[in-house]
Amino acid sequence: MVGVDCFDDYYNRTSKEGNLAEARRDPNFRLVEQDLLGFDPSTVLEPGCRVFHLAAQPGVRGSWGANFERYLRNNVLATQRLLEATVRVRPQRFVYASSSSIYGEQPTGPTSETATPNPVSPYGVTKLAGEHLARLYAQAYGLSVVSLRFFTVYGPGQRPDMAFHRFIEAIRAGKPITLYGDGRQTRDFTFVDDIVDGILSAGQTEAVEGAFNLGGGTPAPLTEVLRILGDLAGHPIESRPGEAPPGDPRTTWADTRRARELLGFRPRVALADGLRRQWDWQTRSVGPTS
């Protein structure tokens, strides 16, 4: 098993090394520290392998303005470079990590893979472009491609810029939480272990291609998240509304019937249990706050 990471400085390397610690202890794992645009990815691929492409520049709010060039490079150009390498190697499967951000604003109710994409952020545009590239290479070169649309992933190992991580750190430091908007926006939160199960299934299930939603299946407003975090903290959570940034849809809700039927995807971790696991992880990994 080979992992490739350029350790982009979007957030600190210490957090990334912590998430890599268990993999590094596996004698069958090898890490290659390279930028996908700075070397030939085919040198670390083998014929018949499975490629899981999760490398990307994350974050909706940061994708506006001059930063878009970074998203174009890391999400579109890097994906095209990796697809070129896979054509030469002929892997068994290419799994592309996409995002619910490709949907943007959709009608009320669960969103299926047949919905017309309507991204409302530059980040969403780049993730949709990656899907289109993967599909084009599948059609032109016969690659077996699966695109997985992740819905708001959380849990142990979460990036420090993401909402739940920031909420928990603020609570532990005795500070109020600043919300983007009024807190009534709804997200289909998905625990990281369920996402990993979906990724592995997509890599192993034969004769299955195309796009799949991976979501928790039970959307909840941020106010419910704060209630659960208050139970974990043992006191009500102080919050204050902030300005809603551009690019954040009001609601996300995954229709996962296709993933259930063809990938056997079954999200198992409920929001309250998942938040408790993330709370416990942050308490252990970060330690006491001042």
Task: Provide the domain count of the chain.
Answer: 1
User: Mind listing the pLDDT tens digit for each residue in 58-112?
Assistant: 999 999 999 999 999 999 999 999 999 999 999 999 999 999 999 999 998 999 9
> Range of 207's domain?
2-286
Q: Please, are residues 84 and 94 in contact by the beta-carbon 8 Å criterion? A: no
**DSSP designation for 257:** H
Residue 123 is a catalytic residue = yes
Cα→Cα distances 91→85, 86, 225, Å: 10, 6, 41
Task: List phi, psi (to 5°) of 287.
Answer: 85, -170
What is the per-residue pLDDT for 246? 86
CA–CA distance, 253 with 109 (Å, rounded to integer) = 7
CA–CA distance, 19 with 7 (Å, rounded to integer) = 12
Residue among 47, 100, 125 nearest 219 (CA): 100
For helices 163-172 and 222-233, the axis angle rounded to 10 degrees is 30
**CA angle centred on 253, ends 172 and 70, rounded to 5°:** 70
Answer yes or no: is pLDDT of 290 > 50.
Answer: no
User: Mind listing the pLDDT tens digit for each residue in 142-172?
Assistant: 999 999 999 999 999 999 999 999 999 999 9
Bridging pattern class, strands 186-187 and 220-221? antiparallel
Stretch 14-18: mean pLDDT:
93
Q: What is the CATH number of the domain that holds 129?
A: 3.40.50.720
Provide the phi-psi class of 217: left if phi over 0, else alpha when psi is between -120 and 50, else beta.
left
Stretch 279-290: mean pLDDT:
75
User: How high does pLDDT run on average in the chain?
Assistant: 94
- Residue 6: how many other CB atoms lie within 10 Å: 16
User: Mind listing the pLDDT tens digit for each residue in 196-206?
Assistant: 999 999 999 98
Instruction: Give the burial class of 15: count Cβ atoms within 10 A of its Cβ; 0-12 exposed, 13-18 middle, 19 or more buried.
Output: middle
From 71, 96, 103, 123, active-site residue: 123
What is the per-residue pLDDT for 64? 95
Poorest-pLDDT segment among 23-37, 119-133, 169-183, 225-239? 169-183
CA–CA distance, 208 with 145 (Å, rounded to integer) = 8
